[in-house]
Amino acid sequence: MIEVLLVRTSLSGLASRGAPRTTTRPAAAALLAVAVAAVGLGPAASPAAAATIPAGSGSYTDSRPAGTSGPTTNTGAPVTPKVTAAAKDKPVPTNDWWSSLAFQRYGDNPYSTPMYGHPLTYQATSGGLEVGYPTTPAIVGDGRQYEYAHKADLTVGLSGLNSPDTKADDWSDWTVTPYWADGSRTFRATIGHGMPFVYAKGSGGDARVTTASAPTVFSDQGNVLGITVAGHHYALFAPTGSDWNISGSTITAGLGGKDYFSLAVLPSTDALATYRKYAFSFVTGSRVAWQSTGGDVRATYTLTTEAEEGTERGTLQALYRHQWLHTTDALTPYTYVSPRGTMKVRESASFTTSQRSSGVVPALPATSGVDKARLTGYLNEVANASDPFSGATDTYWTGKALGRLAQLVPVADQIGETATRDKLLGLMKGRLQEWFTAGGASEFSYDKDWKTLTGYPASYGSDTELNDHHFHYSYYVYAAAIVAQYDQAWAADSAWGTMIKHLIRDTANPSRTDSAYPFLRGFDVYAGHSWASGHQGFAAGNNQESSSESINLSAGLVLWGAATGDTALRDLGSYLLTTESEAITQYWFDASQEVFPASFGHDTVGMVWGSGGAYATWWTANPEEIHGINVLPVTGGSLHLAREKAAIKRNIAEMERNNGGPAQEWRDLLWEFEALSDPAAAKAKWDAANGNYAPEAGESKAHTYHWINTLNTVGAPDMTVSGDLPTSAVFSKDGTRTYTAHNHSSSARTVSFSDGKTLSVPARSTATSTGPGGGDPDPGEPGPSTGNTFRLKTGGILTTATTDPAGTDTLASADGVNRDGTPYRATAYEIKNVDGELAAGAATSFRLRVDAGTTVGLAPQVRVSYDLTGDGTFDRVETFRYFATDPVAGWEEYTQAVGTQAVTGSLGDLRGGTVRLEIWNALGNDTSQVQTGTEAAVLRIPYE
């Protein structure tokens, strides 16, 4: 067994082959074995004096069952939130990027473990806040993990500060303010995701910055000091009239009766003037607002600020890749390095993203590709099993079993097996009601200190570490949503709905004023995904392994909200799912191949950490489970994965390489995953097995058979089209689209799709229809259905779609060498399987918007290549003259009017051909940008 030193984290996900997972947690560090081989959700629950608190037909307790534990330190001692008096009544958002400030998991560390805000990293110490900016990745663990580990460039605090601990004093959606006090001095520092600034306030001492090594000063303007430490540039800002003094590695400034100062990490030394403008516009809070309408999800991220000097209230914030890919808001040329790829800087207190929503359906549509008799047999195997719950007793494994049954209810209903449907519903209701009734062998207990609801028996640290609540409870919410689809009375607040709402409030509370549960406990709105560890007590930050189980909660919210008529909750689910889908695409699967370091050598990670990612799981290094843990459970909420079909193919290919062949243990999960990209290939593997395999613990042969054969009939999900109802989806095969939607409401409605198709859906029913349509124009997939005009899409794609969001791609520097005529570190956009007849007299044309910022002498250059038959050889190559950019900020238009520099080969008809556009900088020493996803980012080929 090969072991990777990762430090401690949460256990989340599944056990290999149904056996409980284990992990070793030494006192100094934990070894992750990688062998080769969380609106209106009901009243706030104030803890009552009684031991049992009614909740509709259900109940929960306000004290834990005998012999169980709540949050503890690693030595087993009970622990309460480490917060100031100002925050003592505020629900603590455990499972966050900064949770170690509030959850002292390790008794010997009363400050914090490293916190990864990005671009900056932080760690609280007795003397203040360590600040770092890791820019060089390390590949560790036999090449299985990449990390940008925290390393302090400097420590910010006050002269003489020596605090016995650090507490959380205030927090908002993605910012936090730690607090230090030593009897003579108090110190606060507001930090957050995407914030290049640290905003400090203190009393009792001078501002003090201690650098890791002697700093180099590049600018000294009295109260504004520019320094370079470890190759990173920082600006220190003291109140006007103050002056920074340097003595070795210690830099101090008297505050002159003021209580504030700040620092910023600069993308370059020439950015000092821009950053100085916002040095005293202190961030006081952060807030996201979302809206899901017409098949689109929009989210606005806003920082609130307060001017400590002057009147400036703006700020600078760095957007993650999953954000800047989906915004049309103006961005500056400034960028930062992060474990999530390039971050781009916006000069504003807010920005808005817009994405096509990811639909969720209770089941795939009915098709002729499913044999009713065979499916009925598989359904009976589950429904008639001696123990349909496979001995599950704890929250996680009970949830898995509930999820397994929930997937089969609409499938049984679809083929008219109503008796089997009702039997499955009865099993689910019975087990849910057991858990939702206090006093039995299983129950939920509310912790008034941590303001959380924990199920007992617990598992994988869901009690002592507050791990994984969103994973565990996702199955309960999803199963309850399926029950509600068929039995609304059961889901009423007066019945069992109130208990489901408690689980939702614990894991994904949309309210910021609920005194019983925190806002979106596990979901990090700025990072775009959830975190699994309740305490975040690791050198690598927080982590999440099974992103798909987090998606399962969001999908459950969509279905529960739809089934109960709570559209606000349904739309919250759409926001969470759509946002996390893009984060998974970029940070788990690296679909654009722009995030993982080139030296990492993997196409996916099993776990995302604050510091990076790991090709690993918590319990095994089996490649099948490393790849499968971010797939399970496969449900109608998994369709979002089909948006990047080329990434699925790379993922499966790597799994088979590392596995020494096709999947064996989790073959059903991985067949279902492959079916989202290549249904025929998945069906071939299913057929070859002929039912002779053991299903994964949350799967069944009935569900896998239905999933694979349905997709083989209707085609893979077509993610270029979305419906204006969150419970709708589109599939495409051989030029035909299949549209499906489930209407949970009591009246008929018409669903409108983004390609113009409409679908009438009766009340409380599913409807399906077909029509002409294309498919996803991802590399390796069928090409455009019609048209000779392609848009550039970030991620290296040429597409005929006109609904993709606008974005920008960065063109690499020419590194000071003349690259005229020869692509160098080119950004390439491509489409395959193109058919077309050469148009007489036509020629290649393009229209691109490029920008070199204020840099002089850059020269973007384009080459267009045609592989007429798709055999891998380009038969025609057209290289155009470069475009001389100006040094004025703003987009410039580059077209084919510059003329060709060189042309080789001849054009002919395209038959399954490939078209590629490459663009690079031919001159200069800096990067530039090119727009994507707009009418000013197009290539027109001379074909009909």
At 200-230, the pLDDT tens digits run 999 999 999 999 999 999 999 999 999 999 9
What is the rounded CA–CA span in Å between residue 412 and residue 404? 13
Q: Are 493 and 564 in contact (CB under 8 A)?
A: no
Of 653, 706, 710, 649, the closest CA to residue 677 belongs to: 649
Condensed to tens digits (0 to 9), the pLDDT of residues 617-646 reads 999 999 999 999 999 999 999 999 999 999
Give all strands of the β-sheet with 296-307 in edge-to-edge order: 281-293, 296-307, 350-356
Given a cut of 60, whether residue 18 has pLDDT beyond it is no
Nearest C-alpha neighbor of 608 from the set 156, 148, 301, 213: 148
- Residue 458 half-sphere exposure toward CB, CA atoms < 13 A: 24
- pLDDT of 893 > 90? The answer is no
pLDDT band (50, 70, 90) for residue 534: very high
- Give the 3-state secondary structure of residue 68: coil
Please give the share of the chain, as a percent, with pLDDT higher than 70.
Answer: 93
Whether 480 contacts 442, CB under 8 Å: no
Cβ atoms within 10 A of the Cβ of 752, count?
17
Q: At what angle do helices 498-508 and 567-583 cross, to 10 degrees?
A: 40
**What's the rounded Cα separation, in Å, for the pair 868 and 834?**
9
Residue 837 is a catalytic residue: no
Per-residue model confidence (pLDDT) at position 41:
56
**Residue 70 identity:** G
pLDDT reported for residue 886: 84
Please spell the DSSP secondary structure of 151-212, one letter per residue: --SEEEEETT---S-EEEEEE-SSEEEEEEE-SS-EEEEEEETT--EEEEEEESS-EEEEES
Identify the pLDDT of residue 771: 84
3-state SS, residue 450: coil
* 935 — pLDDT class (breaks 50, 70, 90): confident
Going through 448-539 in order, the beta strands assigned E by DSSP cover 452-456, 523-524, 529-530
Q: Which residues make beta-bridge pairs with 738?
A: 731, 770
Tell me the pLDDT tens digit for each residue of 894-919.
999 889 999 999 999 998 899 999 99
The predicted structure's pLDDT at residue 788 = 86
Work out the number of other CB atoms within 10 angstroms of the CB of residue 633.
29
Give Cβ neighbours of residue 270 (< 8 Å, ≥ 6 apart): none
The answer to whether residue 776 scores a pLDDT higher than 60 is no
Best CA proximity match to 169, nearest among 181, 155, 152: 181
CA distance 728 to 767: 10
The torsion angle over the Cα atoms of residues 201, 204, 208 and 212, rounded to 10 degrees, is -100
| Cα–Cα distance measured from residue 284 to residue 223, given in angstroms and rounded to the nearest whole number | 23
Per-residue confidence (pLDDT) for residue 884, from 0 to 100: 87
Phi/psi for 439 (5° steps) reads 105, -5
CB-based contact 352:302 (threshold 8 Å): no
- Annotated catalytic residue: which of 549, 571, 582, 665? 549
115-119, 311-315, 799-803: least confident range: 799-803
For 720-742, the pLDDT digits (tens) are 899 999 999 999 999 899 999 99
* Length of the chain (residues): 944
Instruction: Determine the Cα–Cα distance for residues 18 and 563; give it in Å rounded to an integer.
Output: 32
Q: Is the CB of residue 29 less than 8 Å from the CB of residue 56?
A: no
506, 492 in Cβ contact below 8 A?
no
Predicted confidence band at 44 (pLDDT cuts at 50, 70, 90)?
very low
For residue 486, pLDDT over 90 is answered with: yes
Residue 468 known to be catalytic = yes
Alpha-carbon span 726 to 481, nearest angstrom: 14
Q: Which of 308, 463, 465, 468 is catalytic?
A: 468
For 157-196, letters b (16+ CB in 10 Å) and e give bbbebebebbbbbbbbbbbbbbbbbbeebbbbbbbbbbbb
- Residue 545 annotated to the active site: yes
Nearest CA to 473 among 524, 526, 532, 519? Answer: 532
CA dist 610 and 340 (Å) reads 9
Mean pLDDT value of segment 664-686: 97
Please state the rounded mean pLDDT for residues 435-449.
97
Residue 890 pLDDT? 82
- The secondary structure of 873-912 as a DSSP string is --SEEEEEPP----SSSS-EEEEGGG-EEEEEE----EEE
Phi, then psi, of 323 in degrees rounded to 5: -90, -50
Round to whole Å and give the CA distance between 138 and 133: 14
| Catalytic residue selected from 545, 582, 654, 776 | 545
Q: What distance in Å separates the CA atoms of residue 338 and residue 674, rounded to the nearest whole number?
A: 30
pLDDT of residue 887: 84
Q: What is the mean pLDDT of the chain?
A: 91
DSSP 8-class letter at 756 = S
- Nearest alpha-carbon partner for 919 in 864, 862, 850: 862
Neighbours of 416 (CB within 10 A): 11
Instruction: Please answer whether residues 730 and 717 qualify as being in contact, where contact means their C-beta atoms are separated by less than 8 angstroms.
Output: yes
SS3 label, residue 470? helix
Q: Which among 540, 719, 731, 543 has a CA at the least distance from the CA of 629?
A: 543
List, for residues 323-372, the tens digit of each pLDDT value: 999 999 999 999 999 999 999 999 999 999 999 999 999 999 999 999 99
On whether the CB atoms of residues 477 and 39 are closer than 8 A, the answer is: no
Measure the CA–CA gap between 904 and 541, rounded to whole angstroms. Answer: 52
The pairs formed by 588-595 with CB atoms below 8 angstroms and a separation of 24 or more are 588/547, 588/613, 588/630, 589/630, 589/644, 589/647, 589/651, 590/647, 591/644, 591/646, 591/647, 591/795, 592/321, 592/794, 592/795, 592/796, 593/796, 594/321, 594/341, 594/342, 594/795, 595/321, 595/340, 595/341
Distance, in Å, from the CA atom of 463 to the CA atom of 862, rounded to the nearest integer, reads 58
Please name the residues in contact with 498: beta carbons below 8 A apart, sequence gap of 6 or more. 42, 55, 56, 58
Spatial separation of the C-alpha atoms in residues 166 and 126, rounded to whole Å: 8
pTM of the model: 0.81
Amino acid identity, residue 941? I
Q: Give 232's strand partners.
A: 229
Which residues are CB-neighbours of 845 under 8 A, at least 6 positions away?
895, 896, 939, 940
Q: What is the pLDDT of residue 857?
A: 77
Helix (H) or strand (E) holding 544: strand 543-544
CB contact set of 108 (below 8 Å; sequence gap of 6+) = none
The phi, psi pair for 656, rounded to 5°, reads: -70, -35
C-alpha–C-alpha distance, residues 135 and 757, integer Å: 48
Using DSSP's 3-state secondary structure scheme, residue 348 falls into coil
Q: State the DSSP H helix or E strand holding residue 646, giving kind and residue range, or none if neither.
A: helix 645-659
Higher confidence at residue 772 or residue 92?
A: 92
- pLDDT at position 2 is 27
Whether residue 841 is predicted with pLDDT greater than 90 in this model: the reply is: no
Query: Could you read off the pLDDT of 562-578 as tens digits, one per residue?
Result: 999 999 999 999 999 99
Query: Which are the contacts of 706, defined by CB distance < 8 A and separation ≥ 6?
Result: 363, 364, 370, 375, 411
Q: Which of 72-81, 83-92, 857-866, 930-939 has the lowest mean pLDDT?
A: 930-939
Which amino acid, one-letter code, is at 192? Answer: G
